[in-house]
Amino acid sequence: MAVARAVKLQKTVVNELRKHTASVIFLHGSGDTGPGIRAWVKDVLNEDLVFPHIRVVYPTAPARPYTPMNENLSNVWFNRYNLLNDSTEHIETIDSMGRILTNFVEQEVQSGIPLNRIIIGGFSMGGGMAIHLAYRFLPHVAGVFALSSFLNKESICYQVLREYSGPLPELFQCHGESDDLILHQWGEETNKELKALGVPCSFHSFPDLDHELHKAELEMLKSWILQKLPEVME
C-alpha cells in the first residue's frame, strides 16, 4: 500500500475553477493519456464533456512494460498476458493500480466530494479498470461507465461479487457492434454476468461502430451522468 500511495498520477481537469459538488473520473484506453482522451471526447462532441456542477478528471496511467507490445513501455492501467477474453487476468498489476486509483479517488473525497457523488468510468482498458475499481475497491461510488470494454471470462470481479451482499453502483455500458479489437460479444457477456450477480446494468449497442467513441454514445453518457449526479441546491 505504501508503494502504491507513493505514485502520483498526472491529471487533466475540466471545470477546475468552478465550485463543484460532484466528480467524474474518466480513464483512458491503453497507450493513451488523460489529455489524449479529453481531446478525443472534445473532438467527437464538438465541446468538452462539461457540466456546471461536476468536475471531470482525466488521469494518466504511468508507463509500464506491456506484454502485448513485447514488453515495451506504454501508458496502461494494468498489464495483460494477451488481448483475449479467456486469458488469465494480470491480478498483480490490476490490484496495484486499484490501490493507486483508490488513493486518487480519496483525494477527491478529501476535497469535499462525497464518494456517492463520484462516478468512475473509462474507454476500453479504462472501462475495465473502472469496473474493477468500483466493484472490488469502491462499491459506494455513484456509478460506473464502460465504453468498448470487457472483463475476462474468469475475472476476479465475478468471484468478489459472488461473496458481496451490499448495494452496488449502476453500470452504464456501450459497445460498437463492429468492434474488431474488443468484440461486442465480450462486452455483452460482461454485462450479462454482472447483471446476474446483482449489478444494476444497462447495455447500449451501436451498429457499424468500431473501437472508437461516438457522439450519440457520449450524449447518452452525459444524460446518464446528470441523472446519477443531479445538481444539489444549497
Tens digits of per-residue pLDDT, 149-176? 999 999 999 999 999 988 999 999 999 9
pLDDT of residue 12: 87
Q: Which domain covers residue 100, as residue numbers? A: 2-228
Q: How high is the mean pLDDT of the chain?
A: 94
What positions carry a catalytic annotation? 124, 179, 211
Question: What does the pLDDT look like over 91-132, one tens digit per residue?
Answer: 999 999 999 999 999 999 999 999 999 999 999 999 999 999
Beta bridge partners, 118, equal 23
- 124 lies in a domain? yes
pLDDT of residue 1: 32
Name the domain count of the chain: 1
- Average the pLDDT over 186-202 and give the result: 97
* Distance between CA atoms of residues 124 and 209, nearest Å: 14
- Average the pLDDT over 226-231 and give the result: 96
* Distance between CA atoms of residues 139 and 133, nearest Å: 8
pLDDT of residue 14: 86
pLDDT of residue 8: 79
At 31, the pLDDT band (50, 70, 90 cuts) reads: very high
- Average the pLDDT over 64-86 and give the result: 94
- 106 lies in a domain? yes
Name the percent of the chain lying above pLDDT 70: 96
Single pTM value for the model: 0.94
pLDDT of residue 19: 83
| Domain containing residue 174: CATH number | 3.40.50.1820
Closest CA to 57 of 106, 30, 23: 23
C-alpha cell at position 140:
459506494
- 15 lies in a domain? yes
- Average the pLDDT over 23-44 and give the result: 97
- 170 lies in a domain? yes
- 196 lies in a domain? yes
- 169 lies in a domain? yes
The distance of Cα 211 from the centroid of its chain, to the nearest Å, equals 16
Closest CA to 213 of 127, 141, 128: 127
Q: Comparing 48 with 4, which gets the higher pLDDT?
A: 48
pLDDT of residue 17: 57
At 23, the pLDDT band (50, 70, 90 cuts) reads: very high
Closest CA to 113 of 52, 233, 51, 23: 23
pLDDT of residue 176: 98
Decide: helix, strand or coil at residue 99: helix
pLDDT of residue 6: 56
- 212 lies in a domain? yes
- 234 lies in a domain? no
